[in-house]
Copies of this chain bind each other. A is one copy, B any other.
Amino acid sequence: MVRIGFLKLGNIATSPMVELLLDERAEREDMEVRVVSSGANMGPEQSEKVAKDLITLKPDIAFVTSPNASTKGPTVARETLTKAGVPTVVISDGPKKLLEELKERGMGGIIVEADSMIGARREFLDPIEMAVFNADTIKVLSVTGVYNVVYEAIDSLIDQLKAGKKPELPLMDVTRSMAIEASGLSNPYAKAKAAAAYEMSKRVANLTAEACFKEKEWEVYTALCAAAHELMRSAAVLVDEAREIEKYGDSVLRKPHHRDGAVLRKRKLIEKPK
Chain A residues with CB under 8 Å of chain B are 4, 6, 8, 10-11, 16-17, 19-28, 32-42, 46, 50, 53, 56-57, 120-132, 134-136, 138-139, 141-143, 147-148, 151, 177, 187-189, 191-193, 195-197, 199-200, 203, 206-207, 218-220, 222-224, 226-231, 233-234, 236-238, 240, 243, 245, 247-250, 254-258, 264, 266, 268-273
CB distance from A115 to the nearest CB of B (A): 13
* A35 surroundings in chain B (CB, below 8 A): 8, 35-39
Q: A34-B38, A123-B272, A188-B250 are in contact. Are A138 and B129 (CB under 8 A)?
A: no
Contact B254 A129 (CB under 8 A): yes
Contact of A125 among B24, B124, B151 (CB under 8 A): B24
**Chain B residue at smallest Cβ distance from A26:** B40
CB distance from A255 to the nearest CB of B (A): 5
Offer 20 A-B interface pairs, CB within 8 angstroms, sorted by A: A4-B39, A16-B16, A25-B121, A26-B42, A53-B57, A123-B271, A123-B272, A123-B273, A125-B256, A128-B255, A132-B142, A191-B223, A193-B227, A195-B226, A196-B207, A199-B200, A199-B207, A200-B234, A245-B247, A248-B248
* A189 surroundings in chain B (CB, below 8 A): 226, 230, 247-248, 250, 269
Contact A142 B123 (CB under 8 A): no
Q: Which 4 A-B pairs have the closest CB atoms?
A: A33-B39, A16-B16, A192-B226, A195-B227
**Chain B residue at smallest Cβ distance from A138:** B135
Contact A223 B20 (CB under 8 A): no
How many copies altogether? 6
- Where chain A touches its partner, the secondary structure class is helix
CB distance from A53 to the nearest CB of B (A): 6
Q: Given the complex of chains A and B, what is the CA–CA distance between A146 and B264 in angstroms? A: 36
